[in-house]
Chain A
Amino acid sequence: MEGQEKIKNSSVLVIGAGGLGCPVLQYLTALGVGTIGIVDHDIISESNLQRQVLYYQTDINKSKVEIAVERLGKQNPNVKFIKYFVQLTNKNALEILKDYDIVIDGTDNFATRYLINDACAILKKPLVFGAIHKFEGQVSVFHYKDDANSTGVNYRDMFPIPPSPEEAPNCSEIGVIGVLPGIIGTLQATEVLKIITGIGKVLSGELLFMNALEMQFYKVEVSVLDQTTVFSIDEYKNFDYGQFCILNEKEPVSEISVTDLKNILESDRFNLQLIDVRELNELPVVAELIDINIPLSQINEYVSKIDNQKKVILICKSGVRSKMAILKLQRDFGLKNLHSLKGGLIEWLNFNNVL
């Protein structure tokens, strides 16, 4: 009963209500964690449903945070849920994270993972890390203080430098087996339970690899490195995580805001070419905004379809892959008439009040 009391008095922030976030949220809710915060700026798409088990077919195009809280509230009305329908950035992360005991990373890109890690390092919050790739997963707990270790291992002790986004295609591009995030997310929830109640040995100082095809677990020891430094708050807020993770290069990419796009659509539609760089099966379909679809993974093969006489705007879900596509096209083909829709389709739909 003492353990149950600790669970009730705890607060946990789940960042990303996707493949990993869904099982984590379901178990934390069932366990009766007192306060659960959920951060996600994404909407539900059909391709999510094979692994994001909180959502139904009828939820497509609705906000993940809204639907998750609606479902979880029915599962356990005693839990207090706090919704953050925002994109986590280094400008808002410290403010959001500071009120929670434990932070869970269930996000899907390196930029966000590094900025969460660095925020937890500054705030000295335990970070329950989980990540997946195709048939494999990783789990660990960072910044966890125990008797033997005063600061806890930092994610940067293992991987000091963020990879480029090209090293990390998202789940829609590579595919991931639907049950895998269920396994990895449940392992994350197990670690949360151990941290709160103090039972067992927390998975700190070790990174666990799990392979679903061979059904094998592989643990690697990670130690605190002297050269890993923690940002000051000012350094953190001024650090450009987006750019740092985009190819580590300083090539400029022209971005266009949704407001400017709307104006050009009304005034000069004829001189505009709109290209969707998402993979072929991705939703939502926003027909008024797309002339052709050239997935980022095939962009080199279809470069001839890009009109060099027009103003060309590349569009994806959140404005990251469209920037990657432009970097590629500028570098490999010298194209100069390309612009990325800032914030992508999510921003466009928000702007038009569809969400």
Chain B
Amino acid sequence: MKTEVLFFGIIVDITGKNRMEIDNCIDTFSIKTAIINEFPKLCNYKFVMTVRNQIVSDNKILNNGDVVAFLPPFAGG
């Protein structure tokens, strides 16, 4: 199963892209682990994760076609 992952704001500065695909992640926890392993600097930033535009606070099982987003707060004005 492939999952599309979207990045926003300062997270794009760290990942260098605003979307990517991840293979074989069954839940949000494994997506988070895979992304942080690839971009360890993300540990220093605050963000929320969403699945299908809904915030997930606990681990959530992913279905085929789910889009996961990493959303940080913005401060600029």
Interface residues of A (CB under 8 A from B): 16, 18-21, 105-110, 113, 130-134, 136-138, 158-159, 161, 163, 166-168, 170-171, 174, 176, 181, 207, 209, 211, 214, 218-223
Contact = CB atoms under 8 A, between A and B. Distances in A.
Q: Across chains A and B, which 5 residue pairs bring their CB atoms closest together, nearest first?
A: A168-B75, A131-B74, A108-B77, A133-B74, A132-B76
10 contacts: A108-B77, A110-B75, A132-B77, A158-B73, A163-B46, A167-B72, A168-B76, A170-B75, A171-B76, A176-B76
A220 B45 contact: no
B76 to A, nearest CB: 4
A107 B46 CA distance: 19
A138 B74 CA distance: 7
A209 B77 contact: no
Contacts of A166: 44
Contacts, number: 93
Contacts of A109: 75
Contacts of B31: none
B73 A131 contact: yes
Given A168-B10, A209-B71, A18 B77 contact: yes
Number of chain B interface residues as a range = 20 to 34
A209 B76 contact: no
B46 A161 contact: yes
Interface of A is mostly: mixed
A334 B18 CA distance: 37
B77 A16 contact: yes
B32 to A, nearest CB: 17
B48 interface: yes
Contacts of B76: 19, 108, 131-133, 168, 170-171, 174, 176
A167 B8 contact: no
A108 B71 contact: no
Interface string B39-72: 0000011101010011100000000000001011
A209 B69 CA distance: 11
Contacts of B44: 166-167
B18 A130 contact: no
B54 A131 contact: no
A177 B34 CA distance: 32
B10 A209 contact: no
